[in-house]
Amino acid sequence: MSSKYVLYQDASIHYTIRGKGIAIILLHGFASDGSIWDNQLSFLEENYMVIIPDIPGSGKSTPLNKSTSTMNDYASCIKAIIVAEKIEKFVLIGHSMGGYIALSYLEKYPTDIIALGLFHSTAYSDNEVKVNMRKKAMGFISSNGVSAFLKTSIPGLFYKPTENKLLIEKLIDRNSQIEKTTLIGYYQTIIDRPDTTHVLKDIAIPILFIAGLHDNATPCIHSIQQSILPCFSVIHILRDSSHMGMHEETAKSNKILSNFLRSI
C-alpha cells in the first residue's frame, strides 16, 4: 500500500493509494478515518485505482488551521490530492459526512466526477431536531472527552452491536485519538452545511445510493426520496444494516459497488 501526503494550506493530508485503472475515491465519515474502507480497498484494488484520504484532523491528517471549516474546505483538500496525482476524472463515494463532502465537491468541481456514491448519506441539511441532537453531543464531548463519546455513540451505528463487539472496540480505540476540538468542529461544520438536493437534480451523472434499513443516523427513507432526483440513479437497501453497511454486510456492499462501477 502506498501512503502519501499532500499539503493543503497548513494541513498535511494523508491518503492511501493502491491498484490501477479508473480512480475511485472513498471518503470516510464523522469520527472515523480511511481504515473504515479496508474491506472495500482489498476488493476494489484488483480493478481500480483506489484512493482513500483521511479528512483533516482524522487518521494521519492534521487539522486545518481554521476556527470553523466548511464542507467546501474539505472538498478542496480532495482536489489537492487529485491535482497531486494528476487525475482528470474519477468516481467519488462518501460515507455519512464523507457524502456531504462528496456533494460539496461535485457542486464545486462538477466536471471532475464521472459518478457519485452516497453511502448512508444525504443531501438534506439538518432540521431543528437534528441540530439540537448534534449540539447536545458537542456539549457531551466538551465535558467528557472523545473516548467517552465514542463509547456511547459507535454501538448505535450498528444494527447488531453485540455481534460486532470486537470491531466496535477497535473503532473506539482507533478514533479516540481525534482531538475533541476537531470532533466538535466536525459537528459544527455538519450543522452549517446547506441543503444540496439541487446538486442531485442538476448534475447528469450516475448516482448510487446505499442505505441501511435500520439506520437512525441517516434514515433510508431519505435515500429513497432523493433517489428520484437525479437523471440516473441506483438505490440499494441493506436489510441487515444500520449505518455501517461496509462492515455489517461487506459482501453485499462490495457487490453493489462493483456492479455500479462496471455500469459506468
CATH number assigned to the domain comprising residue 64: 3.40.50.1820
Q: What is the pLDDT of residues 159-204, one digit of tens each?
A: 999 999 999 999 999 999 999 999 999 999 999 999 999 999 998 9
**For residue 184, what are the contacts with CB-CB under 8 A and spacing of at least 6?**
138, 141, 142
**Average model confidence (pLDDT) across the chain:** 97
Residue 1: its pLDDT value, please? 57
Partnered with residue 14 across adjacent β-strands are 5
What one-letter code names the amino acid at 250? T
Total domain count, the chain: 1
Give the structural domain span for 244.
2-126+193-263
Q: What is the pLDDT of residue 241?
A: 98
Residue 228 is assigned to a structural domain of this protein = yes
pLDDT the model gives residue 68: 85
Q: Is residue 136 included in any domain, yes or no?
A: no
Report yes or no on 117 lying in a domain: yes
Asked, for residue 212, whether it belongs to a domain, the answer is yes
Q: Which residues of the chain have pLDDT under 70?
A: 1
Q: What is the pLDDT of residue 264?
A: 87
Look at the block and give the residue holding cell 433510508: 220
Q: Is 88 a member of any domain?
A: yes
Domain annotation covers residue 174: no
pTM of the full predicted structure? 0.97
Q: Please check whether residue 209 lies inside any domain of the structure.
A: yes
Instruction: Please report whether residue 59 resides in a domain.
Output: yes
